[in-house]
Each structure stands twice: as C-alpha cells, then as structure tokens.
Structure 1
Amino acid sequence: MSLDVGELLLESVPFARTLGIVFESVADGRAICRVPDRADLHNHVGGPHAGVLFTLAESASGAAVLSSLGDQLSRAVPLATTATIEYRKVASGEVRAEARLLADRDEIVARLDAGDRPVFDVAVEVTNTEGVVVAALTVTWTLRPNRPAG
C-alpha cells in the first residue's frame, strides 16, 4: 500500500486545508510541513496566531505517526490524546514544523498485536524563516483498535 500522508491529511482534516498547510517531507516517523505567511492567519502582534502554530505542529505530528504506522490503519485509528506546547518567541512570516516519532515502531506494533492500546509521543519544533524555534510541542498519541463490525 502506498500512502500519500500529506494528501490523506488534507482530505481528512479540512482545517489543515483552510490553513494552507504544505507537507514537504513525510517518511520514516518524521514529517516536515509549513504554513505560508497570510495576513488572515495573524494575531494581534502581526504573526501567525497561536492556533496556527498548534495546528501546524499537531498536523506534522500526525503525519509522522502515519508515515510510520499507516499500514496499521485497517485495524487501529491513531488519535492524539494530549499535547503540551511551549511558545518560545513571537513568530513572524512563514512557519515550519518538524516532527519525529519518539517511540520504536516495532514496539508500538507489538503492543497493538498483544491487544494493548499503545501510547507514544511525537516531538515537534516550530521554526520561523530564520530557523529560530518559536514553539516546541510534545503530542501524545494512541492507536485505538477498531471495533469489530457487527
């Protein structure tokens, strides 16, 4: 199965399309995406709104999860359960998020195989055009096993 993670996310999460998120690179538990600078997404200080930064980062984390575990979609649904965000600097211009899965894929699948509901983290850094980290997140995900039909 070939899975275009960016396309899947843009189809299934309309808000990501609304923000204009661009998925640049998605593979092997990592994802890089960006939001172009748009005045309609700005806050009161002229940069991307905190909600834009959060949504960009959460989308990147989901892409990282799907890039590693997308082959498990027939039996489990990935769900973000918690997220912590640290806003470090005022963002301006285009922002970019880089996410990486912090757990071992084989361990996650083994827990799912054992009937458990695996829980794991994804780290995300959001940077401005100069590469300065403006926000950092940890998003906790789980794979909820699909319920049997019937």
Structure 2
Amino acid sequence: MLDADVAKQMLGSLPLVAHLGVEIADVTAEGGAAQLPDRDHLKNHLGTQHAGALFTVGEAASGAAVLGAFGEAMGALTPVAKTARIDYRKPARGLITATASLTESAEDVMTRLQQNGKAVFEVRVALHDAAGLLVAEMQVDWHLRKN
C-alpha cells in the first residue's frame, strides 16, 4: 500500500485542493476521506457550503480512495477522473467529511488493466456534515492506464 502520509501530501499539494483548505483525512486500501473546513469564503449566497467546494472535497476523497486502492503500483499508473456526478441532498453546513470507496475490488480493476492496457472504474462518495447528516452523494468514474 502507498504510505498514507505520502498520499496525503500528494493530494494536498494540488493547487485547488490546497486553496480551498481541503484536507485528506484518510487513505487506506479500503477507501479515502477528505474534509472541507467551515470558512466564510467557501459559502454561497445562502450561507451554506458552496456547491463547487463540495464537489472538490468529494473528488479529492475519490482520489484518496484511488491512491489507497492501488498503492505502490501508482508509480507505474496514471489515474484521471473521467466523469463525475454529484447529487446535493441537503444544505451543507459546517465541517464536511467526504468518504469514498471503489465499487469493485482493486484486483478486478488491475485484471482489466492488464488485459486491455486501461480500465475504467467507479468510486462512490458520501458527504456528511458534522452532525452526520448526508448532504451529498457523488460518483466519480476514473480512467486508469499504465504509464
């Protein structure tokens, strides 16, 4: 597995992620998590977390899940987010935590990658506020290829 601290540093160095103050909270073989802080400049005209900031924390969590799932193999692979969809369920207030996981095993994805030279797979993300309320759900389809 890719060292969690290395993965957090890699994702945290992305300019937009850093600009918004998104922090990578967890990177494991089972998934990833990221947090969006509660800051005034991240809020919309209603005083809730901005849709674009929510999308960014969800995409960052999905990237953490990808790094965690493919671990040490990441040095020979290039992941790219291919498509993404987000459903906003409730007004998002306060600290937001996005948790993400692949919908299939990393082994199955790697098998397709070995057979076809590329693979597309889905990562599902749930975004919750500090009270545990589900505020958004997201799906990110990732394209993975060998370098």
Q: TM-score range by the shorter chain?
A: over 0.9
Pair 1:56 & 2:57 matched: yes
Matched to 1:38, the amino acid is: R
Pair 1:99 & 2:97 matched: no
Pair 1:8 & 2:10 matched: yes
Identity of aligned residues (%): 38
- Give distance in 1, aligned partners of 2:83 and 2:67: 17
Task: Give the total of aligned pairs.
Answer: 145
Give unmatched runs, 5+ long, in structure 1.
none
1:1-150 to structure 2, matched below 5 A, reads 2-3=2-3, 4-11=6-13, 13-146=14-147
Residues 21 and 36 in structure 2, CA contact (< 8 A), matched pair in contact too = yes
- Give distance in 1, aligned partners of 2:128 and 2:75: 34
Residues 37 and 94 in structure 2, CA contact (< 8 A), matched pair in contact too = yes
Please identify which structure carries the higher helix content. Answer: 2
Report deviation, 1:75: 2.4
- Give distance in 2, aligned partners of 1:100 and 1:129: 20
* More divergent stretch after superposition (43-52 vs 27-36): 27-36
**For residues 69-109 of structure 1, what are the alpha-carbon distances to aligned partners after superposition, in whole Å with 9 as ceiling and x for unaligned?**
13222322001100111001111111110111111111111
**For residues 27-64 of structure 1, what are the alpha-carbon distances to aligned partners after superposition, in whole Å with 9 as ceiling and x for unaligned?**
01311221110001110000110000000000000000
Report deviation, 1:67: 0.5
Displaced runs of 4+ in structure 1, greater than 3 A? Answer: none
Residues 89 and 134 in structure 1, CA contact (< 8 A), matched pair in contact too = yes
State the superposition RMSD in angstroms. Answer: 1.4
Residues 33 and 60 in structure 1, CA contact (< 8 A), matched pair in contact too = yes
- Give distance in 1, aligned partners of 2:11 and 2:24: 9
* Structure-2-length-normalised TM-score: 0.92
Structure showing greater Rg:
1
- Give distance in 2, aligned partners of 1:104 and 1:2: 16
Report deviation, 1:2: 4.6
* Structure-1-length-normalised TM-score: 0.91
Residues 29 and 65 in structure 1, CA contact (< 8 A), matched pair in contact too = no
